[in-house]
Structure 1
Amino acid sequence: MSSCKLSLPFLISVILIYILFKKYSGNSPSAGQWVPVVFWHGMGDSCCNPLSLDRVKKHIQEELGPDKQGKKIYINSLKIGNSFLQETMNGYFMNVNDQISEACAIIKNDSQLSYGYNAIGFSQGSQFLRAVAQRCPEPKMLNLISIGGQHQGVYGLPHCNYPDHSFCDNIRRILNAGAYLSWVQDYLVQAEYWHDPLNEEEYKERSVFLADINNEKKINIDYIKNLQSLNNIVFVKFNNDTMVMPKESEWFGFYSPGQVVNITDLWNSKLYIEDRLGLQKMRKDGKLHFLAVDGDHLRFNWDWFLSEIIHPYIKNMTI
């Protein structure tokens, strides 16, 4: 009787293949499975607030129902913090770049997102998720949906409806005097996307977050490549927004440099004309979509959300 001896390298190879198979085979997608979704909440909110994002999550799962595998759509509502209070406070006082790094780690370590996901940002969570798309291309973000995001930043007070506009401008100048101090940029989230149209050069030089992801400091080719790899970006603007100043920032517009009255839209902006984010090609490829809805900040009708967001960009996509 002849004996068969297995070499040590062969045995090691078999063991490694087995380990890899066990590790990844359970995560592989099946045909007809919903593409998972990542949420990022806005200022003053949290991942799992039963009155906001948790409610939206449940509505989406009820609307779509089970996929062909009998499973509800998987939604990871990003939690940046160890508790409800800490997460809410981090939306004000945790450096945005640190938040992006933590979000990227959460997404990368979530096995259910391994084969790609759609992203829905609410208010400031929108520009944060765009930073995730630009900085962390793996796993792949497919569609980015921005609900009232401030992609050119803000220069105004929430709900500043004072009859004398000079009052609001004076308060803005007081805020702006400290917005670009290094310790303020390091710790105050809203300062990191504060955009002063009266002093564009200081904004570009000292903004630690927004000026970077908008490629206004220098051109980061990876940001362009990663953004262009998205299937679609949907920008939702609220026509009666009293929270975001100016509301046109939700469509990538902003105050024309040197004043705070007239607005320059995206197409006439330096960012677009110089193609600092590669948006010209995305527009040509039909990847940019602009929706407007009547109402104040994040005040949308559920039927509108289903017909304009969920059905075109979430329901029609399966792995």
Structure 2
Amino acid sequence: MARTMEALFVVLTVTIAATYHVDAAKNASLPLVLWHGMGDSCCNPLSMGNIKKVIEKRVPGIYVRSLMIGDNVADDTINGFLLNSNKQVDMVCKKIASDPKLQNGYNAMGFSQGGQFLRAVAQRCPTPPMNNLISIGGQHQGVYGFPRCPGDNSTLCDYVRKLLDLGAYVSFVQERLVQAQYWHDPMNEDEYKKYSIFLADINNENVKNQTYKTNLMKLNKFVMVKFLQDTMVDPKESEWFGFYKPGEGNIAYPLQESQLYQEDWLGLQKMDKAGKLVFLSSNTDHLQFNLSWFEQNIIDKYVK
């Protein structure tokens, strides 16, 4: 009888432990990868460093990796202006693939230009798998203006403006200036498609890369945040994958009216109909979101 009770105790213990581990696995949050925007760095205590802390406090035990593009914070900041976008994406793909804590999948959150860069990661590097892609103010159809820079990078901003004035599609500028690589001139769509080395490629505007489409459609959710009072991104509709109509610099169209959507170059139409696209807004200027809004609408719904 004693042996029977002991055996029963062992069975119950193993069953309870197994149930606990299954429940824990279900409740555990996926790791999160962050990519900062132009003029910022991975670890600025007033921006990305603080965002990382907010997420870690809201989701105890979560692994958050804030990407550093380069060997130090100074390089990270400068590379946001001057390191070819394709090289940055390649670098990040390798970082993610070599991080043992990300091997079972992860969520990704990009701020401003980090949004479209992480989308390129999803399309080009599906292993390990990205679950939710959260783009906060990302410019997925590019920009047609450079009104101001964030932070204290006035020297770099002046340099960027001078290069863009020379011509965003001049090979020297296009190859070396990050912002030129997602510059989208609606007044000359043919030139944009011909010379854009990054944005036109990841948007499948020339050769239709089926792999890009297949990989993007693997996302569970593609969340896009638009800032309704944005004074930095021109046009702000780009944050929801809209843009100016061809030949227009004032009239914008939504994603659903674009050729990209209607011909489904990236699978966005299918994703939209499947409920995978999420369009959120903040009635503020660029990246000036309220912390409680961020916690309730982003962290609680798409990170936890």
- Range of TM-score over shorter length: 0.7 to 0.9
Tell me what 1:309 maps to. Answer: 298
CA 278–260 in structure 1, closer or farther in 2 if over 3 Å, else same: same
Once the two structures are TM-superposed, the CA of residue 63 in structure 1 deviates from its matched residue by: 1.4
Gaps of 5+ in 2: 1-23, 150-160
Match for residue 34 of structure 1 among 29, 44, 55: 29
Once the two structures are TM-superposed, the CA of residue 235 in structure 1 deviates from its matched residue by: 0.5
Match for residue 260 of structure 2 among 271, 276, 287: 271
Once the two structures are TM-superposed, the CA of residue 157 in structure 1 deviates from its matched residue by: 2.4
CA distance in 1, matches of 2:116, 2:302: 18
| Alpha carbons 1:38, 1:119 under 8 Å: kept | yes
CA distance in 2, matches of 1:305, 1:39: 14
The percentage of aligned residue pairs carrying the same residue is 59
Match for residue 117 of structure 1 among 106, 112, 120: 106
Q: Deviations over 1:75-108 (max 9, x none)?
A: 0111110111111000000000000000000000
Q: Deviations over 1:213-239 (max 9, x none)?
A: 000011000000000000000000000
Match for residue 299 of structure 1 among 265, 268, 288: 288
Q: Which amino acid counterpart does residue 39 of structure 1 have in structure 2?
A: L
Matched, 1:149 2:121: no
Once the two structures are TM-superposed, the CA of residue 307 in structure 1 deviates from its matched residue by: 0.9
Once the two structures are TM-superposed, the CA of residue 34 in structure 1 deviates from its matched residue by: 2.2
CA distance in 1, matches of 2:45, 2:76: 15
- Which sits farther off after the overlay, 144-153 or 29-38? 29-38
Match for residue 54 of structure 1 among 24, 49, 57: 49
- Which sits farther off after the overlay, 81-90 or 109-118? 81-90
Report the secondary structure of 2:192's partner residue: helix
The TM-score normalised by the length of structure 2 is 0.86
The TM-score normalised by the length of structure 1 is 0.82
Match for residue 257 of structure 1 among 239, 246, 250: 246
Tell me what 1:163 maps to. Answer: none
CA distance in 2, matches of 1:305, 1:294: 13
Report the secondary structure of 1:190's partner residue: helix
Once the two structures are TM-superposed, the CA of residue 158 in structure 1 deviates from its matched residue by: 2.0
Q: Deviations over 1:49-86 (max 9, x none)?
A: 11111111111111122xxxxxx200011111011111
Tell me what 1:44 maps to. Answer: 39
CA distance in 2, matches of 1:57, 1:246: 28
CA distance in 2, matches of 1:227, 1:34: 21
CA distance in 1, matches of 2:194, 2:136: 28
Tell me what 2:225 maps to. Answer: 236
Tell me what 2:164 maps to. Answer: 175
| Alpha carbons 2:163, 2:173 under 8 Å: kept | no
Report the secondary structure of 1:179's partner residue: coil
Match for residue 286 of structure 1 among 271, 275, 281: 275
Q: Which amino acid counterpart does residue 201 of structure 1 have in structure 2?
A: D
CA distance in 1, matches of 2:43, 2:30: 20
| Alpha carbons 1:176, 1:196 under 8 Å: kept | no
| Alpha carbons 2:143, 2:184 under 8 Å: kept | yes
Tell me what 2:3 maps to. Answer: none
| Alpha carbons 2:243, 2:253 under 8 Å: kept | yes
Q: Which amino acid counterpart does residue 227 of structure 2 have in structure 1?
A: F
CA RMSD of aligned residues (A): 1.7
CA distance in 2, matches of 1:131, 1:302: 27
Once the two structures are TM-superposed, the CA of residue 177 in structure 1 deviates from its matched residue by: 5.2
Report the secondary structure of 1:103's partner residue: helix
CA distance in 2, matches of 1:98, 1:223: 17
CA distance in 1, matches of 2:288, 2:239: 14
CA distance in 1, matches of 2:167, 2:107: 37
Note the 1:208-247 alignment, pairs <5 A: 208-247=197-236
CA distance in 1, matches of 2:26, 2:145: 48
Tell me what 1:192 maps to. Answer: 181
Note the 1:10-29 alignment, pairs <5 A: none
Q: Deviations over 1:165-209 (max 9, x none)?
A: xxxxxxx99936510011111110000000000000000000000
CA distance in 2, matches of 1:174, 1:77: 29
Report how many aligned residue pairs link the two structures: 270
CA distance in 2, matches of 1:176, 1:142: 39
Note the 1:72-91 alignment, pairs <5 A: 72-91=61-80
| Alpha carbons 2:41, 2:68 under 8 Å: kept | yes
Q: Which amino acid counterpart does residue 271 of structure 2 have in structure 1?
A: M
CA distance in 2, matches of 1:203, 1:187: 16
Once the two structures are TM-superposed, the CA of residue 33 in structure 1 deviates from its matched residue by: 2.8
Q: Which amino acid counterpart does residue 44 of structure 2 have in structure 1?
A: N
